[in-house]
Structure 1
Amino acid sequence: MTTLFIADLHLSPLRPDITACFLRFMQEEAPMAKKLYVLGDLFEFWIGDDDNSPFNVTIKDAFKALTASGVACYFIQGNRDFLLGQRFCKETGMQLLPETAVIDLYGTPTVILHGDTLCTKDEKYQEFRRTVHQKWLQRLFHCIPLFIRKKIVSNVQNKIKQQKHFKQMEIMDVTPEEVVNVLESHHVTHMIHGHTHRPNTHKHQTNQGSATRIVLGDWYTQGSILVCNENGCELQQRSLG
């Protein structure tokens, strides 16, 4: 049986084509797998586990059906859905992992993460990340009425889009030295992450020897899935049509 990895779907009611592709994947492919890992940015933006809009309920139901069928599902928070928490996971049967985790992938210890923490050259983002990941601030945000939270998030999204136009591409990509640091600190030679929207397989040299880093693709123009089994891993695409 296979182990599947996805990230950066950015699900939103504004992109029904992406949603349809995701639901097909959940109904037709994912049930055939042993495990499914979602490495962040499942949603375009997540404002809290208490947001039970019809769209969010549809996504929750898809995961609930999958876990009920016996497929183990794991989630790592991304930069767009870092507020997704234990309530969502309890309702869907998923397991929330820490921001960096080491798994046994068919006998190969592999570190998995969303990938935003690897982009250390983007100093403004890293500063923003440190701020919004403070637990007291997140608790305070959850105390705000839902409709106000939606307005706050809408303003934040607009600012993020504006800032991206002025950032150099290399700033938004991973810092190779940080990749090596994470690999060495976890004593592994394999890494899987998303966030950068640049699907590919890279090689790095570490104190442990040659290391492999697989980057997951986004779902803006196609579905993107990493399919792994005992013979290795393959990045695959699925049509949104």
Structure 2
Amino acid sequence: MTSPTLLISDLHLSPADPATLRAFFTFLYQRAQHASALYILGDLFEYWLGDDQLDDPFYAKIANALAALRQHGVSVYFMPGNRDFLPGPRFAQAAGLSIIPDPSIIQIDGLRVLLAHGDAFCTDDIGYQRYRKLARNRLVQWIWLNLPRRIRNREAEKLRNKSKAMNQRKAMQIMDVNAGAIQTALRKYNTPVLIHGHTHKPDIHEYPEGIRYVLPDWHQGQGGYAAILQGKIQLYRQLEEGLSQPSNIQTDDC
């Protein structure tokens, strides 16, 4: 029996949202273990300050849960998002996954698919794109990762608060993807399908160049995913019944 390829994004896992962590673990155990591969297209975590975050039992437990998938023969791929773009080799090894660039092209059952986190397509938000370019500068990242963790925690909190305040003043349309940027990407990479997250607006959009699938975000135990099987893509905007209210997954020791 053929196993599907699953794709998720925007879980924003943090100790402040234990319901989503429980739903994620249940999804791994009941759904992802039966997949051929799992692609995480960014923002798995609310923030990732560096691989020393694995010293925290909460994050170590998530890495262990992902590593367990590999023992079941499931390949796991992680694409950095705008909240967790600093994963390193320690995280990859601990979670048993491969880190892939944004964007990436995959071939599944003869279907050529472009994967992205999605924030690079929000080109109308000029301020954010300026920040994105700076944050992904290798020198800036090296300096950041060599700061003491307490300073990184403090500065990250300042950045999150600043981002929330700025987003409240921005027009909603500039925080969504730009249609021209999407069409340019489909032409550039010669793919009929694009799958991304980031916008928290799950939907399916058609263009002359191809189809765009937007993955659901996860919050308070609710979430969704996409599945590719035999060349067909299904978007699940919500977790199936029985997955969203797990009862046998313990997370209070995180």
Alignment correspondent of 1:28: 30
Alignment correspondent of 1:115: 118
1:225 positional shift: 1.1
Cα RMSD, aligned residues only: 1.1
Alignment correspondent of 1:6: 8
Output the CA distance in 2 between the equivalents of 1:102 and 1:176: 20
Output the CA distance in 2 between the equivalents of 1:87 and 1:116: 25
Q: Greater share of strand residues, 1 or 2?
A: 1
1:231 positional shift: 5.3
Output the CA distance in 2 between the equivalents of 1:20 and 1:213: 29
In the alignment, is residue 162 of structure 1 matched against residue 161 of structure 2?
Answer: no
Deviating above 4 A after TM superposition, structure 1's stretches of 4 or more consecutive aligned residues are none
The answer to whether the 8 Å contact 2:110/2:231 transfers is no
Please state whether the residue corresponding to 1:228 is helix, strand or coil. Answer: strand
The answer to whether the 8 Å contact 2:108/2:231 transfers is no
Output the CA distance in 1 between the equivalents of 2:32 and 2:95: 15
- How many residues end up aligned between the 2 structures? 237
Letter in 1 for 2:235: L
Alignment correspondent of 2:224: 224
Alignment correspondent of 2:48: 46
Please state whether the residue corresponding to 2:19 is helix, strand or coil. Answer: helix
Structure 1: runs of 5+ lacking an equivalent:
none
The answer to whether the 8 Å contact 2:66/2:95 transfers is yes
**Percent identical residues:** 38
The answer to whether the 8 Å contact 1:68/1:93 transfers is no
Alignment correspondent of 1:101: 104
Output the CA distance in 1 between the equivalents of 2:179 and 2:35: 32
TM-score normalized with structure 2 length: 0.91
1:85 positional shift: 2.3
The answer to whether the 8 Å contact 1:217/1:224 transfers is yes
Alignment correspondent of 2:213: 214
Output the CA distance in 1 between the equivalents of 2:139 and 2:174: 29
Alignment correspondent of 2:250: none
The answer to whether the 8 Å contact 2:111/2:231 transfers is no
Structure 2: runs of 5+ lacking an equivalent:
246-254
Of 94, 100, 107 in structure 2, the residue corresponding to residue 91 of structure 1 is 94
